[in-house]
Structure formats: structure tokens, C-alpha cells
Amino acid sequence: MDKPATPASRAARITLYYALLASVWILVSDWWLGERVAGTSWLTQAQSAKGLGFVAVTSVALFFLLRREWKADAALLQRNQQQRAELHALSQFRESVIESAHVWINGLDREARVTLWNDAAERISGYRRDEVLGSDGIWQLLYPDPDYRSSIAREVQQILSEGAEVQGFETSILTKSGEEKIIAWDSRQLTDEHGHVCGSVAIGRDVTARRAAEQALQKRERELRTLIANLPGMAYRCLNDAQWSMRFVSSACLELTGYRPEELVANRGVAWASLIQPEYLARLHVQVDQAIEQGEPFAVEYQLRKRNGDLVWCWEQGRAVTIDGEQFLEGIIIDITERKRLEQELEELATQDALTGLPNRRAFNRRLEDELSRATRYDRSFSLLWLDLNNFKDINDNYGHLAGDAVLRQISHLIKDKLRKIDFLARYGGDELTVILPEMSFEAGQEAAERLCDLVASSRFDVLNGHTITLTLSIGVAAFPQHGKSAMALCDAADRAMYQTKKRNAAARRHSGA
């Protein structure tokens, strides 16, 4: 691009043009006049006219020349004003964008010397602009490790020499205060107006805090995965719909149900609700919905069927959560089959007679209260039998307590086998047994008592050493509601009736013996 002419060069050019034009005019006009009017009276007038004509012609020429120069000066002045405006705008852009930017911006020449270092670069690195401009020494300070610095230099050289464009290239720098920071760089070549490479520009973002947060999140996720993998049950997240459609299940689901996580998620293989035994579903939905309405966690127990057909007891605790406007249930499900088995064993130990295997006194009292409630609610009757083995003490005295225990077990099994499924036989204590006969009147109860007495009297019972003996019963009968409307009243009535029967039996034996 040609450089604009200076005022001195333009003035010299105009003067040269004028001198040439004047010289040509004088020479040509003098020659012409000498040929035409030499020696005449018209020579003086002709020379005057020639001079005036020269002045007129040169004035016109000078006018056009000066007008052209004035136009050129005006255009030059306008260009200068535009350039000044552009420089002012560029300066404002530098101050408002580059210097005020929240990201690190730096420029390099072809030798990797710093040509631009904005305020953010100063703030992030700790090095002032006057410490780094015009030098490449900043890189030894930012990257003190020689090997690491060499790898960064190779990357910069690729940008300068090969035109490589870098996006998101992360480096670790050492700031002036000794703090390590992670910078993510976007960089590319800079070219001049002729397309020649003159350096590079780079924009750096301080991602130290973000990377630290990501590392902390990754660590937390690893810890959470480890925790979930070692939970004693299956962690889950599901929709609160009819099928409890799973959105996440932990790997423990395989041991709990026999199904893999991908088979349970989104009901791909099986819906969770379909694994639960049907008799629990309605109650579970009610309990979960009530807990959600009250804003409380829920805890439920139910049985589900595994893939192999086994039934397992589950304890589930969870709560409702809302994620992106959608309600989910989150919680944990634990296999409590073994606990249920132990509970059942403990219940049996607490309510079962160790000698006979019959329900004990505690179980009898509980069942009697239940039967009283049922009979009262539905206005029904039932009978209570109170059984006592006659002369049972003689067995213990003659054959020993082991023989007495054996006889008591045999009688218990004999009577139990002859009762209905709804009847309830228990060992109240010692040699006393009780029988609850639901839906049986007093008269029907007396008939049942007579049958049991006949059954025992017609049987023989083994004692030690292969001996067998016979026994008889004394049975008292009481019925609800005519003999009592409470457990205590019924037991007392049946016990008194049993002792009256026992007295009659004893009197009959004495009379017979007499």
C-alpha cells in the first residue's frame, strides 16, 4: 500500500510543474512573437498581452492544482479523523473487554514473548504486566518443572508454526504466591494484514475450583457406591405408581430377589409390585400413602417371591422425595427372613409348653380373650373345658416323674387328635389341660367332655419298663355367656365345675369299692 505524500513533497511537485509550464510558455511565446511582430510597433503590446495571458493561464492552472490538493488534504484529514476514532474505539475495546474481562487474555509474538497481559492475567497469576511484557521469562515462573514446561512449549510451537487451534487445553501453573491453579486454554494464531503469522492469542479460564468440586463429587460418588454396595440390603429409587416402577436399584437386588438391576429398572423384566405377595399390596399402598400425606418416612414388612420361587420376608424403610417436579420413593429393603424365623421360634418358646408341645397358659389366656371378643361382637356362644387327670400323683410316686411326663404327653396327643381344627387345647399347668370350643353351647360342651372322658378311660398309656396303665379324667364345663362374660369368670366357673366332677368321681369310686 503506497504511503500518502507529505506537504513538502506536494509543494515541491507543484513548484516544479509551475516552473516547467512558465519556462515552456516564455520560450514558445518569445519565439512566436519574434517570428510574427519583430521590429514592429506591435511588439510591446504583444509582449504585454503575452504576459497577461501567461498570468491568466497559470492562474487557472494554479487554481485547479490547488483545488485538487485541497481535496486531497480534506480526504487525508477525514482519514486521519477516522483513524483517530478507530484508535479511540480500539482503546475503549481494550479497556472494556480485554482489560475488564474475567478471563485471562495474553498475546505472544513469534518468539513466545508476551505482547498482551490483561488485568485478569495479573489477578490469576499474581504477576504484573510490567513484569512480563516483552519477555518470555514468565513461562519459567509459571511452569518451574523443565519437563512439564517443555511439553507446554511444544504445544505453543504447534500453534505458532503449524496453525493448530487449541480448545480446553488444561495446564497447571504456579502463581507468584506459590498456589497451584488449573487453567483451561483456548488459543490460536494471529496474522497481520498480509496473512503472515505474527504471534498467537490465548484465553485462559481458572477452573481450579471447578476441578476441585468435580474431584470432591467423584470421591463422594465412589464412597456412595462403596456404601451402597456394602449395605445389608437393596437401595432403590422408584416411582410412586401402582407397580412401584424402579428407576434405580443397587446390585444387592440380585441376592434379595434373584433378578439383576437391569431387569427391575423400568419394569424391563419384572415389576416390583408383582414380586410382593398379593395379600400385602393393598395394606402397603395405604401405609405408604399415609406416610407421604403426613410428610414422614414409612417402614413396612411383607413377603415377596424370589425368582427361584422361595418366599422371603422383607423390611422396607423409605421416604418420598421430589426431583424436577416428579415424586419418587427412596429407601432400602432388607431380607429379614432369618429374623422372622427367630421371632417365630421365640414366640413359640414363649407360648408353647416345652413338655407336651401344646400352647401354654399365656397362649391360652390370649386365645380366650380373642374368643370372648369375637363371641361378644357377633353374639355367639362357646364352651370352655377344664381337664384334670385323676390320681396323676400316683403315677409319679409309683413310676417316677419321667413316666408321669410320658403319660402326660400321650394324653395330650390323644385328645388333640380328637378335637376339631378350630378347637384350642392348652396345658394350663401341672396335670390340668384346657379346651376352648368355639360355636359350642353348654350342652354341646358337656357332650364333648363326656366323649373325651370315655376316650381316655378306654385307652392304655405306656410307662417305663414296658408297663401300661389306665387313667380317667375329671372335666368341668362352662359356657359363654351363661356362666360368665369375662375370662376370669369363665375360668373360675369351669375350674369349680371340674372340682365338683372330681368329688363325684371320687365318691363313686369309694362307693364302688365299698
In this structure, are residues 407 and 413 in contact, taking their beta carbons and an 8 Å threshold? no
pLDDT of residue 39: 57
Measure the CA–CA gap between 389 and 397, rounded to whole angstroms: 15
In this structure, are residues 198 and 190 in contact, taking their beta carbons and an 8 Å threshold? yes
What H or E segment, with its residue span, contains residue 458?
Answer: none
pLDDT of residue 457: 94
User: Which amino acid belongs to residue 270?
Assistant: V
Q: Which grid coordinates belong to 203?
A: 484465553
Measure the CA–CA gap between 498 and 385, rounded to whole angstroms: 8
CB-based burial, 6-15: b 16+ in 10 Å, e otherwise: eeeebeeebe
Provide the residue-wise pLDDT of the chain in tens; the chain has 514 residues.
455 566 666 666 767 776 777 777 677 766 666 666 555 556 666 666 666 776 677 777 767 767 777 777 777 677 767 766 554 554 554 555 555 568 899 988 888 899 999 989 999 999 999 999 999 899 999 999 999 999 888 888 887 777 778 888 899 999 999 999 999 999 888 887 778 888 888 999 999 999 988 888 888 877 767 666 666 789 999 999 999 999 999 988 999 999 999 999 999 999 999 999 999 999 999 999 999 999 999 999 999 999 999 999 999 999 999 988 899 999 999 999 999 998 888 877 788 898 999 999 999 999 999 999 999 999 999 999 999 999 898 898 888 889 999 999 999 999 999 999 999 999 999 899 999 999 999 999 999 999 999 999 999 999 877 789 999 999 999 999 999 999 999 999 999 999 999 898 877 766 665 4
The DSSP call for residue 5 is P
pLDDT of residue 60: 72
SS3 145: coil
pLDDT of residue 98: 56
pLDDT of residue 228: 65
pLDDT of residue 280: 94
Nearest to 304 by CA among 240, 238, 234, 247: 234
SS3 120: helix
Give the sign of the dihedral formed by CA 8, CA 12, CA 13, CA 17: positive
For every residue of 44-69, DSSP letters joined together read HHHHHHHHHHHHHHHHHHHHHHHHHH
